[in-house]
Amino acid sequence: MGERQQVQFPQEIVDEYAALGVDLPALFSAGHLGTRMGVEIVEASAERVVGTMPVEGNTQPYGLLHGGASAVLAETLGSVGSMLHGGSSKIAVGVDLNCTHHRGVRSGLVTGVATPVHRGRSTATYEIVISDEEDRRVCTARLTCLLRDVSPGGAPAGAAG
């Protein structure tokens, strides 16, 4: 899958999280599941999150991109946008994910672009459009995240520790 790109964040955001002892690139990564699936985040801001994922290794028995793989990419990108919108005092928790699959893909790389539909104080909703290498829409998803306060230890307020 080649060398991973490092997501570039505005310096003020890096500084804000560093002051809290948080590794920002790790926090906004695709996580263990996304890493296994080859998800790479290439651009990240509260206004737009872009990521890619290979079709190879993420197919269902018929050789098409698995719908669940598209859901992983969509939730990853929408969650990153929600976290960036919420800032360092909030954590984004997905509460609703809807995916509509438009066409099958058998090879190559798919690209997801998440843009906000709603950014409030307690929820954030993103639309995620996943396209193939010919810029044909493969999937349209919508993710809503609850924005919960982070307790001083870094866990969501009210979470068991």
Does 52 or 32 have the greater pLDDT score?
Answer: 52
Containing 144, the helix (H) or strand (E) segment is strand 137-149
Residue 43 to residue 56: CA distance in whole angstroms = 22
Residue 96 to residue 4: CA distance in whole angstroms = 29
* Structure confidence at residue 93 (pLDDT): 93
Segment 103-148, tens digit of pLDDT: 999 999 999 999 999 999 999 999 999 999 999 999 999 999 999 9
Residue 14 to residue 7: CA distance in whole angstroms = 11
**Average pLDDT score over residue span 15-35:** 75
pTM of the model: 0.85
Q: What are the residue numbers of the active site?
A: 75
Residue 62 to residue 35: CA distance in whole angstroms = 23
Segment 49-86, tens digit of pLDDT: 999 999 999 999 999 999 999 999 999 999 999 999 99
Residue 54 to residue 82: CA distance in whole angstroms = 24
* Structure confidence at residue 154 (pLDDT): 53
